[in-house]
Structure 1
Amino acid sequence: MHFSVWFLLVVLWVAESVESCPDVCKCSRKSGPEKSEVTCHRTGLLDFPSDLPADAWILKLGENGITDLKADVLRSTPKIESVNLERNIIESIHPQAFSGAKQLMLLNLYSNHITSLPPRGFQDLLNLRFLMLGQNKIGVLKAEMFAGLKNLSDLDLPLNALTSLPSNAFKPLTALKVLDLSMNLIQRMSPKAFNGLRQLMFLNLDNNSLKTVPPGAFKPLQSLEMLVLDNNLLSSLRPSSLDGLDNLQELYLRKNNLEHLPPDVFRNMPKLSQLALSGNRLKTVDGNMFTHMPNLKKLHIHDNPWRCDCNLSSLVQWMGQTKATLSPRTALKCLSPPELQNKSVASLKVDQLLCRA
């Protein structure tokens, strides 16, 4: 090919690639395999840009005024791997909005005005690993919303309007490792809410309104290593509520309304290394329950109204023998009887723990 013709083609190709970048955005091309990073962060966009370079692989659209996602918004960018749409005002998502984006690995929709997810709206995203939906207004979950997301590993749904978790809500997410449902309004969960999540390792239910955990609700979670139930309204726990958590290593139950724990409530958690029960209403517990936790390294039980009588003797004995790190010992104090009020539990001797007839 003649040099001048070749030069002209190169110029035209460069011109075309420059023209295909939206006016308010910046497009930078990565050397090697042709990939463009498109940055339109905080540029006043009101609509999803249509003139994106075909080789776009990262798209940054955060902090704009985009209100909806129409059909096929990513159809012209088959190589797209990451899309950030956080802090827009998106209210609706067309069921075919993400059609054709089979290479997409990260989709960030954090802090929008989304009230519901379209059925099967993510079904083309076969390679999606991270889906961020926090701080929206999503009130209902259905399994069909997550159809096709067989490789999703991280689903973030904090700060939404969820009040319940229905049966099979997450069943298509067979590869999910992390599920964050914190700071919702969840009052109820179906015993089958977590069906299918056999690979889940971290579940966060912090800051919800759960009063009970149905028997067997966590049974499908055979790989779970960390469970956070802090800041709920749990007043009791039964052994059946925690069935199936054989691999659990960390359990957080801080700031609930727990008044009593059955001696065998943690019986099937041989790997448990951290247990947090601070900020509840516990007056006494059977210390023998902790002797069946050979791997227990940290136990937090302060900020409870401990009644230091003979019923607490097994706990005091265990505390004197264990190598586990306890709550700040200075924070672990008796509330009653009056003669032992504010006394450090760790400093007590068993013969000080009396029960009056």
Structure 2
Amino acid sequence: MLWLLPMVFALIAVVDACPTPCKCEDTDIITCFGQRLLELPRLPQSTKQLYATHNKIQALPDEGLEELTILDLTKNAFNLSLNTNWQNMSNLTKLFLSGNGLSTLTPRQFQGLSNLEVLDLSDNQIKTLPQMFLYGLTKLQVLNLNMNKIFSLSYGVLDGAPALNDLQLRSNMVKMIE
């Protein structure tokens, strides 16, 4: 039985190794900047922060992101809409989706991100904010919607985020606030 021990330790080392072509600070902070990734690499279970900016990622996996507290997907290729199940990412406190060409948000878009404090949706193509798109974001404090194409804010559109204290709307086309 003792002969199995080295193989077990080797397997653990592989599972917790830094994924190529990313760079790691320990195993809890991973940076995959400008690697032309089409999908996220398999992450060590201990990963807390992932910075996968300037890639071509179009979707997120259903598992493997449970321990993340920070997820930065700035300048990727989500385009148009974001069809993601956030239920397994309840530890997330900061989510950056800037510069992805997003144009459509849906009600309950970020449901499951119960600990989210910062949401950056800047530099996208968002025109309207649907009712209840912030549903369940009870800890959200900062919402960055700068550099979109938002033309109106409807009454109640920010419901679902009672802790919101910093709403950023610079460089939009807001003409009407209800």
- Does 1:225 pair with 2:148? no
Matches within 5 A, 1:54-93: 75=11, 77=13, 80=16, 85-86=21-22
Residue 194 of structure 1 and its aligned partner are, at CA, apart by: 0.4
Aligned-partner SS, 1:147? coil
Deviations 1:111-170 (A, max 9, x none): 11112347xx44xx332101111100112x24xx0413222100010011111112x432
User: How much has 1:83 moved relative to structure 2?
Assistant: 6.1
CA, structure 1 residues 243+79, in 2 after alignment: closer, same or farther (shift >3 Å)? same
Alignment of 1:93-132 (within 5 A): 104-117=27-40, 121-122=42-43, 125-132=44-51
- Please list, as runs of the form range in 1=range in 2, the aligned pairs for 1:240-319 lying within 5 A after superposition: 240-262=156-178
SS at match of 1:187: strand
**Aligned partner letter, 1:174:** S
**Counterpart-to-counterpart distance in 1, 2:155 and 2:127:** 16
Aligned to 1:135: 54
For residue 119 of structure 2, give the secondary structure of its aligned residue in structure 1: strand
Counterpart CA distance in 2 for 1:86 and 1:127 is 15
- 1:157-198 per-position Cα deviation (integer Å, ceiling 9, x unaligned): 0011111112x4322101000100001100112223201000
Give every structure 1 segment of 4 or more consecutive aligned residues whose post-TM-superposition deviation is greater than 6 Å: none
- Number of paired residues? 167
Counterpart amino acid of 1:222? T
Q: Deviations over 1:5-31 (max 9, x none)?
A: xxxxxxxxxxxxxxxxxxxxxxxxxxx
In 2, are the aligned partners of 1:108 and 1:132 still within 8 Å (CA)? yes
Instruction: Tell me which amino acid in the other structure corresponds to 2:120.
Output: N
RMSD over aligned Cα atoms:
2.6
Write out per-residue CA displacement over residues 253-310 of structure 1, whole angstroms, 9 at most, x where no aligned residue. 0110100112xxxxxxxxxxxxxxxxxxxxxxxxxxxxxxxxxxxxxxxxxxxxxxxx
The residue correspondences of 1:171-210 to structure 2 (distance < 5 A) are 171-210=87-126
**Higher RCO (C-alpha under 8 Å, 6+ residues apart):** 2
Q: 1:151 aligns with which of 44, 48, 67?
A: 67
User: Is the 1:84–1:108 contact (alpha carbons within 8 Å) kept by the matching residues of 2?
Assistant: no
Who is 2:4 aligned against?
A: none
- Flag the 1:214–1:110 CA change in 2: closer, same or farther, 3 A: same
- Largest Rg, 1 or 2: 1
Q: Higher helix share goes to which structure?
A: 1
Tell me the equivalent position of 1:239. Answer: 155
How far has the Cα of 1:82 moved from its partner? 5.8
- The 3-state SS of whatever aligns with 2:101 is coil
- In structure 2, how many angstroms separate the alpha carbons of the residues matched to 1:86 and 1:80? 13
Q: Which runs of 5+ in 1 are unaligned?
A: 1-54, 56-73, 88-102, 263-357
C-alpha separation in 1, matches of 2:21 and 2:55: 12
